Chains A and B, each alone.
Chain A
Amino acid sequence: MMRTAWRIFVASWKHVWRNLWIGLATVVVFTVALLSVNVLIATNVLLERAVQFIEDRVDVTVLFQPNTPQGVLDQAKFYLTSLPQTASVQIVSADDALAAFKERNKGNQKILDALAELPGNPLGAELVIKAHDTADYPFLLDAVRNPQYLPFIHTSSYEDHRDAIAWIEDAARSLRLFGSALVAIFALFGLLAAFNAIRVAIYTQREEIAIMRLVGATSGYIRWPFVLEGVWLAAFAALITAGAVAFGMAYGEPRLAQFFGMDTGLRDFYASEWPLLVLAEFGSMALLSACVSWIAAGRYIKR
């Protein structure tokens, strides 16, 4: 048994080296299939990151009446922070709000002059609320508008963001769905290409298969070297793909980050997911080529 297994193992390696060009062509097809799936996965990560980036920019600002007691502000912050939907709550004091207002309008002398005419600080303190999920903003606003704080609230800026938040939610949902569908379609095309590459590789060796049978080889003894050969080719393709992705991370990702002006999230994604990705890509390719090799070789094994 061990002797036969060893011979099949050796024969599979000889198959690889003595059919080098067909093997190379098959590895190229496998690699292109895996790379296209990786490009799609990376695009999906980028999309997710972009959506996250925009979502992080969204917040709700509750403007309080001037002279609202600090105790009310602290209590409102404590209450909102205790809600599971809340990511963060920040109090911006009336003075800081005024300073920020002046900074924003430093190019508009008319506004600055009008502000100087007023006796004191016309702005009240603000609460800047960030939610974990954009869908939770209406809930958080309702929460802060309870009778305890409502008399002190001047206005909330959520109304201004409502459309933008809804748009982002829709866009994020569509992009995630579109990205997943695209990855699935490319994976399918990749598998089909790999399927045909193996079939063609075995077709070119159909006469050898018939000869092996004629000199007394069993069906398994003929098939297993082809199956193992397919697994080796899948391993080569997975390694080359992993190398290409690593190269892309080292040289392409910094340029991409610079281009978008934000962290792409690709490094973190690949740093945490690469063992699973390489295993999944190798595993699916190896399984596919092993199954196709078994079936395709069997087609040429006659009596």
Chain B
Amino acid sequence: MIVLEHVSKTYYPQSVGLDDVSLRIEPGEFVSIVGQSGAGKTTLAKILMAEEQPSAGRIEIGGWDITNIRAREIPELRRQIGVIFQDYKLLPKKTVAENVAFALEVSGAKGAHIREVVPQVLKIVGLEDRAHRFPRQLSGGEQQRVVIARSLVHRPKVLLADEPTGNLDTLNTQDIMDLLVKINAFGTTVVLVTHNREVVNALRRRVITLKDGRIVTDHQHGKYTL
């Protein structure tokens, strides 16, 4: 479960990222966070992955209060939350398999476990035949699927996707969304941050709309209304 209680984030000197945001996301939910540019979507995503610290309020993920998380605890949090980025954030000098394996290596996983899990997740995202290619040798859609594979290796309870289709064409967008829905069907909570109207409307899941750092709507079977 993800809980935010009266969370605010103010950037120096007076720019508001989030303003008194409170919400609860239940385990297994698929939630879309929508809003225009500057609404606070990315700030919310960054706070959830502890890239930013809130100026006020309280945040809890899976019973772990991360409001004042210490720097040395952050790697552990990030191994528990799968994160997907718009710009992929793959390591360019590592192959597809090495990129996926890296997420396991940093947690000290055994070699045998890595050799077992990496092909499995690459098969889930349909990239088993691209394992030894470098990111530059892949299309945008394929790169995003590598990122999803990487985020799945720890079998995370929460998958945070920050504009995962922002750099993709319609066909690849559909592929990625199908994958996210499939992952959610296995019980993983998915938090999708997007401003893609078609994607949100096609999902027909819970939609939280942000404007000027505040929640303006929160509908269980919502649509992109802005």
Contact = CB atoms under 8 A, between A and B. Distances in A.
Interface in B80-110: 83, 85, 89-94, 102-103, 105-108, 110
A164 interface: no
B75 interface: yes
Contacts of A212: 91, 102, 106
Nearest to B88: A211
Interface in A212-245: 212-219, 221
Nearest to B81: A216
Interface string A1-44: 00110010000001100110000000000000000000000000
B72 A303 contact: no
Contacts of A211: 89-91
B106 to A, nearest CB: 4
Interface residues of B, number: 30
Contacts of A14: 93-94
Contact of A303 (B71, B89, B108, B111): B71
A208 interface: yes
A19 B78 CA distance: 27
Contacts, number: 59
Nearest to B78: A216
Given A7-B105, A221-B106, A214 B78 contact: yes
Given A3-B108, A212-B106, A303-B50, A218 B78 contact: no
A218 B89 contact: no
Given A3-B111, A14-B93, A302 B51 contact: yes
A15 B92 CA distance: 11
B157 interface: no
Contacts of A208: 91-93
A211 B90 CA distance: 7
Between B77, B79, B105, the greatest number of chain A beta carbons within 10 A of the residue's beta carbon is seen for B105
Contacts of B93: 14-15, 18-19, 208
B76 interface: yes
B200 interface: no
Contacts of A3: 108, 110-111
B141 to A, nearest CB: 19
Contacts of B53: 303
B75 A217 contact: yes
Contacts of B85: 214
A21 to B, nearest CB: 12
Interface in A266-303: 302-303
B71 A215 contact: no
A208 B49 CA distance: 18
B108 A216 contact: no
A252 B108 CA distance: 53
Contacts of A221: 106
Contacts of A213: 74-75
Between A15, A214, A219, the greatest number of chain B beta carbons within 10 A of the residue's beta carbon is seen for A214
A275 B175 CA distance: 62
B79 A216 contact: yes
A303 B53 CA distance: 9
Contact of B78 (A4, A15, A210, A215): A215
B223 interface: no
Interface in A176-228: 208, 210-219, 221
A303 B51 contact: yes
A15 to B, nearest CB: 8
A215 B49 contact: no
Contact of A215 (B51, B72, B92, B102): B102
B106 A218 contact: yes
B28 to A, nearest CB: 23
B150 interface: yes
A61 B72 CA distance: 79
Nearest to B154: A216
B112 to A, nearest CB: 11
Contacts of B108: 3-4
Given A3-B110, A4-B108, A214 B91 contact: no
Nearest to B52: A303
Nearest to A11: B105
Contacts of A210: 89
19 contacts: A3-B108, A3-B110, A4-B108, A19-B93, A211-B91, A213-B75, A214-B51, A214-B85, A214-B89, A215-B103, A216-B76, A216-B103, A217-B102, A218-B75, A219-B71, A219-B72, A303-B52, A303-B71, A303-B74
Closest 3 CB pairs between A and B? A216-B78, A216-B79, A217-B106
Given A216-B103, A218-B72, 7 more contacts: A4-B108, A208-B91, A213-B74, A213-B75, A216-B75, A216-B79, A218-B75
